[in-house]
Structure 1
């Protein structure tokens, strides 16, 4: 791969008999994208995780009888080879993450309302080491009748596991002790918010969450030592005057910590926020169309690009980031991929 190209994997909502995980390339000079190869044998590979050595990839199969997959990555071709697959003991796993020390894989099961931890063996095999069932509900009777964990990840210092539970209106903190998820603390969002995805400021002082059901973005003061957060600010994830769609989806901050982006599926757009370097608070700047339908996920790339996965138009669209103000400009390129719902850069982004 040349210096002016970056690789990324894409997870999709496709059947097991179709190619579902795609390795793609991004031209960092133009924003043009290409499919390099594809992997079949997994249905609804809706979220992916990659280790730092880039030789192991993990994926969830978001199906009624959920599964988690472990692959080895061919160093020359980037092709995936199955190492192991295990049931999640639940339904609709929609998020997967590695612990900071890469000893465990964490999985959020949306429909069955529980969280898994898997110990990773020397050969990449997975062993279920912990299963924690969430129990609770909130005010939205249609969407919050029960617990619905939507994402799971570790804090920047690797001390705590955090779970955004859309159904309970909580971000739940756990300690991971000898492979077991041990309850620590829970942070409440506004009733009916529906916390979905999350990102951390590079300084470690602040964190940012997107709430699906009330279409808002929360700014948190993060205390990684105590395992706690406090809400500092709540802003709309939609442009002024837009009808609420209960469809806000993904959130990411740039490595420089100056720009935050949030996607919403009702308006098919990505919002830009400027981050105050002293307080971490946000200022809404603008919203841009993702050039497709239902941007469930997006990613920030080195070289200053954002790639948006438009699920219902089956396209990935690239945008150039203005390094001075963070504004997104479409490159004019779109890549046809069946129902893309996750974009995972292979290389760490730096710009």
Structure 2
């Protein structure tokens, strides 16, 4: 491994007896990618999280009987060794993250409508510590017949735990107290929006959410003291004239805080927005094809690259990020990976 290479893990929709988590390398000079290692024994490893020391990796198994897996990361090879696995007591866990203090792992179960907290033991293994069942519905009778938590994560200070619940049209705030998720507050989105993923601006002043069902992006002012969000702006996640597809997926802000990207699976593209430096408001700039089908998750690398996971064309495609404009240019390289749905950069 040299200074011009960045490693990343890719989570996939594969069977338990197939390779499911792929360790890959990105050449920061060219954008070329290659597979370094493979891990099997986990079905549908659709979302991954790694600790700051990068010696522990956690993954959900998005199945009807959901599970969460804990792995030790080999210091030399970055290969994975299973530590333990725990049931989520629900169905289709689709998101996992670590608390800011790295004492707990947080999981969202889409189908069964509940969220989990797990205590991280000294050896990296997981032990259940909290579970909350969301209840309710919203206006879309087909997709919002019940609660559907789609992501769970903490604010930059680790004071609050937020859940985007697609089924309730809510961003639900909790306090994590001794491993228990204690209800704090809920912020409503527009009826039928379907909040899915979320990212904070590096300043901590603003936050951005992508809504799957109405294909929109929300700009929020974040109150870190009270744990609240105030919607400042709503924009389309699709280019003008595009048909709504209820398929907007992922959202990320660049580390410099100047650019925001949002993926949508109906148009197979990623949109670029410029962030106003004093207001946090967005201006739509362009949409770029991901050169594949059904871009789900994508990731930004500090070396000036964006990698998109094209689930239904079995490819990860790399793009250069123009440091002045944020515009994306395909490198010409793609990596064949079965049904990739999550990209997790390490050693950035």
What is the TM-score normalised by the length of structure 1?
Answer: 0.99
Contact preservation (8 Å) 2:213, 2:246: yes
Is structure 2 residue 320 aligned with structure 1 residue 314?
no
Query: 1:122 & 1:6 partners in 2: Cα distance?
Result: 28
Q: Which residue of 2 aligns with 1:279?
A: 279
Q: Which residue of 2 aligns with 1:333?
A: 333
Contact preservation (8 Å) 2:255, 2:302: no
Alignment deviations for residues 244-268 of structure 1 (CA, whole Å, 9 cap, x no partner)? 0000000000000000000000000
Q: Which residue of 2 aligns with 1:8?
A: 8
Offset, 1:302: 1.3
Equivalent pairs counted in the alignment come to 348
Is structure 2 residue 143 aligned with structure 1 residue 143?
yes
Query: 1:300 & 1:280 partners in 2: Cα distance?
Result: 19
**Which 5+ residue runs of structure 2 have no aligned equivalent?**
none
Q: Which residue of 1 aligns with 2:203?
A: 203
What is the TM-score normalised by the length of structure 2?
Answer: 1.00
Offset, 1:347: 2.5
Q: Which residue of 1 aligns with 2:26?
A: 26
Offset, 1:241: 0.1
Q: Which residue of 2 aligns with 1:295?
A: 295
Q: Which residue of 2 aligns with 1:74?
A: 74
- Which runs of at least 4 in structure 1 moved beyond 2 Å after TM superposition? none
Q: Which residue of 2 aligns with 1:118?
A: 118
Query: 2:288 & 2:178 partners in 1: Cα distance?
Result: 45
Query: 1:194 & 1:55 partners in 2: Cα distance?
Result: 35
Query: 2:184 & 2:272 partners in 1: Cα distance?
Result: 33
Offset, 1:35: 0.2
Query: 2:347 & 2:3 partners in 1: Cα distance?
Result: 12
SS in 2 for 1:306: strand
SS in 2 for 1:36: strand
**Which 5+ residue runs of structure 1 have no aligned equivalent?**
none
1:1-351 equivalence runs, <5 A? 1-348=1-348
Offset, 1:331: 0.2
SS in 2 for 1:251: strand
Query: 2:107 & 2:317 partners in 1: Cα distance?
Result: 28
Query: 2:35 & 2:343 partners in 1: Cα distance?
Result: 13
Offset, 1:99: 0.2
SS in 2 for 1:312: helix
Query: 2:124 & 2:330 partners in 1: Cα distance?
Result: 39
Alignment deviations for residues 177-204 of structure 1 (CA, whole Å, 9 cap, x no partner)? 1110000000000000000000000000
SS in 1 for 2:312: helix
